[in-house]
């Protein structure tokens, strides 16, 4: 096939382009007329503002004005919409914060009827903060973190005792939990308020958008903490106490003793083995030092420990059922990492296998009053622990079972 000259090719291309443009123009005109007929009824096109009619010019002008408006002010409209949504959420966060503060005041007055008005001291407590140690040189940072946490825990306990001097130990621990939740809600409120005011002042789309996109998760967590306030106030078990509940069931009726700070242990026969069951001391809101407790038992039994099993609540994925259990290996414990570090150090030194059983729940359920599904999951976890022990150990072996979690409302 022979090729034509460049001029012929360009003429042909121009002709085809002109036909294509004519086709597109006709299609757009037809679409506009069809849309008008659909929106405004089955009147003739000439009555609805066909080509050259005044109504057609009005439609075109409105379209152009809207286009220009959204080009110039579309982002500002989005910012105003997002600010209104954040402002509404901020009012709800303030309500959560104030409600937690009022519950804390009522708990103090109920625990110690002779106490002075606790409102000023509680307001001061809500601004409490903790700084983490410097981590430029990470060597030896775990003891520093542990020291800071010990000072913080003791300070919080002292503050609770100053608020209600006549309260008993369980009431003090539960008051501590109420104050912790109130402090957390106050912190969430202050952070959201900071970015709301900053974004409003700067009219920064990026600042406001970041808050607005995270708002559903923030509100979900805040609502859960708001429910946790009354759980601590009334001494009700929370979802995070699932591991502690398993340990309490397994040590029921056995004599327990404190083996580390706020940690009790009971020696019970379990599937023909000698089992040490550990949990935080209840029924007050305690967590305790699990790392020290495991170290003390291993030192006491020397190299006789055959396995460590840890039971804790675990964050479930969306779509998973609350109360389902799962098995794995490793140190199933949350927190900043001090107890986890100590348990792993001990297990590594003595070559102890670390097994874990977890009970699934959402982040909201972990701080809310314990549901029936989580309670039932604790019984399933016990069956899993027994099966693990039968499959992985021998008769007369020493086993350490650690029930991790906040023990509010869960005794020994």
Does 209 map to a domain?
yes
Does 353 map to a domain?
yes
How confident is the model at residue 49, as a pLDDT? 47
170 vs 12: CA distance, rounded Å: 93
CATH of the domain at 289: 3.40.50.1470
313-355 pLDDT per residue, tens: 999 999 999 999 999 999 999 888 899 999 999 999 999 999 9
Confidence of residue 25 (pLDDT cuts 50, 70, 90): low
240-289 pLDDT per residue, tens: 999 999 999 999 988 999 999 999 999 999 988 999 999 999 899 998 99
How confident is the model at residue 14, as a pLDDT? 46
Task: Kindly tell me if the per-residue pLDDT of 5 is higher than 70.
Answer: no
Confidence of residue 80 (pLDDT cuts 50, 70, 90): confident
Least confident of 1-10, 110-119, 144-153, 287-296: 1-10
Does 351 map to a domain?
yes
Does 361 map to a domain?
yes
Q: Which domain holds residue 91?
A: 72-234
Higher pLDDT, 51 or 223: 223
Confidence of residue 292 (pLDDT cuts 50, 70, 90): very high
Q: Are residues 88 and 145 in the same domain?
A: yes
> Average pLDDT, stretch 373-378?
95
Q: Are residues 175 and 250 in the same domain?
A: no
Task: Kindly tell me if the per-residue pLDDT of 1 is higher than 90.
Answer: no
> Average pLDDT, stretch 81-103?
93
The mean pLDDT value of the chain amounts to 85
Does 46 map to a domain?
no
Count of CA atoms in the C-beta half-sphere (13 A) of 259: 24
What's the chain's length in residues?
A: 412
DSSP 153-201: HHHHHHHHHHH-TT--HHHHHHHHHHHHHHHHHHHHHHHHHHHHHHHHH
How confident is the model at residue 114, as a pLDDT? 77
339 vs 21: CA distance, rounded Å: 73
Task: Kindly tell me if the per-residue pLDDT of 145 is higher than 60.
Answer: yes
Buried/exposed 167-191: b ≥16 CB within 10 Å, e otherwise? beebbbbbbbbbbbbbbbbbebbee
Least confident of 5-9, 141-145, 330-334: 5-9
Q: Are residues 88 and 178 in the same domain?
A: yes
Task: Kindly tell me if the per-residue pLDDT of 37 is higher than 70.
Answer: no
Looking at the DSSP bridge assignments, the partners of residue 266 are 256, 277
Q: Are residues 198 and 281 in the same domain?
A: no
Task: Kindly tell me if the per-residue pLDDT of 10 is higher than 50.
Answer: no
Q: Are residues 356 and 253 in the same domain?
A: yes
How confident is the model at residue 411, as a pLDDT? 86
How confident is the model at residue 214, as a pLDDT? 92
Does 199 map to a domain?
yes
Higher pLDDT, 107 or 113: 107
Does 37 map to a domain?
no
Residue 285 contacts residue 377 (beta carbons within 8 Å): no
Task: Kindly tell me if the per-residue pLDDT of 4 is higher than 70.
Answer: no
Domain total for the chain? 2
Q: Are residues 195 and 212 in the same domain?
A: yes
How confident is the model at residue 33, as a pLDDT? 53
162-207 pLDDT per residue, tens: 888 888 889 999 999 999 999 999 999 999 999 999 988 888 888 8
> Average pLDDT, stretch 147-172?
90
How confident is the model at residue 47, as a pLDDT? 46
Q: Are residues 230 and 245 in the same domain?
A: no
Last residue of a domain, one of 182, 200, 234: 234
Instruction: List C-alpha distances in Å: 178 to 182, 208, 404.
Output: 6, 31, 20
Task: Kindly tell me if the per-residue pLDDT of 392 is higher than 60.
Answer: yes
Global pTM value: 0.78
With H, G, I as helix, E, B as strand and everything else as coil, classify residue 312: strand
DSSP letter assigned to residue 369: B
Q: Are residues 157 and 216 in the same domain?
A: yes
Last residue of a domain, one of 204, 234, 264: 234
Place of tokens 């601004």: 127
């Amino acid at each position: 096939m022979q090729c034509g000259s460049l001029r012929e090719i360009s003429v042909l291309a121009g002709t085809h382009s002109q036909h294509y443009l004519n086709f597109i123009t006709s299609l757009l005109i037809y679409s506009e007329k069809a849309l008008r007929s659909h929106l405004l009824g089955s009147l003739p096109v000439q009555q609805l503002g066909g080509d050259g009619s005044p109504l057609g010019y009005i439609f075109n002008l409105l379209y152009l004005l809207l286009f220009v408006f959204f080009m110039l002010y579309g982002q500002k409209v989005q910012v105003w919409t997002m600010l209104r949504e954040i402002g509404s959420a901020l009012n709800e966060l303030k309500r959560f914060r104030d409600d937690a503060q009022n519950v804390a005041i009522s708990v103090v007055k109920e625990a110690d009827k002779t106490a002075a008005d606790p409102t000023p001291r509680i307001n001061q407590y809500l601004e409490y903060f903790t700084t983490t140690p410097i981590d430029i040189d990470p060597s030896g940072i775990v003891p520093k973190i542990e020291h800071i946490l010990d000072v913080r825990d003791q300070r919080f306990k002292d503050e609770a005792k100053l608020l209600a001097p006549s309260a008993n130990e369980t009431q003090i621990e539960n008051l501590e939990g109420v104050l912790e939740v109130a402090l957390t809600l106050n912190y969430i409120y202050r952070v959201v308020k900071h970015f709301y005011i900053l974004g409003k002042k700067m009219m920064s789309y990026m600042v406001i958008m970041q808050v607005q996109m995270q708002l559903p998760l923030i509100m979900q967590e805040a609502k859960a903490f708001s429910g946790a306030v009354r759980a601590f106030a009334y001494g009700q078990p929370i979802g995070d106490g699932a591991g502690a509940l398993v340990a309490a069931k397994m040590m029921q009726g056995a004599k327990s003793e404190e083996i580390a700070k706020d940690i009790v242990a009971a020696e019970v026969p379990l599937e023909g083995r000698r089992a040490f069951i550990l949990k935080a001391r209840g029924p007050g809101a305690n967590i305790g030092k699990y790392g020290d407790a495991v170290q003390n038992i291993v030192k006491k039994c020397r190299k006789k420990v055959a396995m460590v099993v840890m039971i804790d609540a675990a964050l479930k994925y969306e779509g998973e059922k609350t109360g389902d259990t799962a098995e794995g290996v490793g140190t199933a414990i949350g927190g900043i990492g001090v107890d986890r570090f100590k348990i792993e150090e001990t297990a590594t030194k003595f070559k102890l296998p670390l097994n874990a059983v977890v009970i699934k729940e959402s982040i909201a359920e972990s701080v809310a009053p314990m549901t029936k599904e989580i309670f039932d999951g604790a019984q399933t976890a016990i069956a899993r622990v027994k099966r693990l022990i039968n499959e992985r150990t021998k008769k007369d072996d020493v086993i350490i079972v650690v029930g991790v979690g906040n023990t509010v409302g869960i005794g020994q």
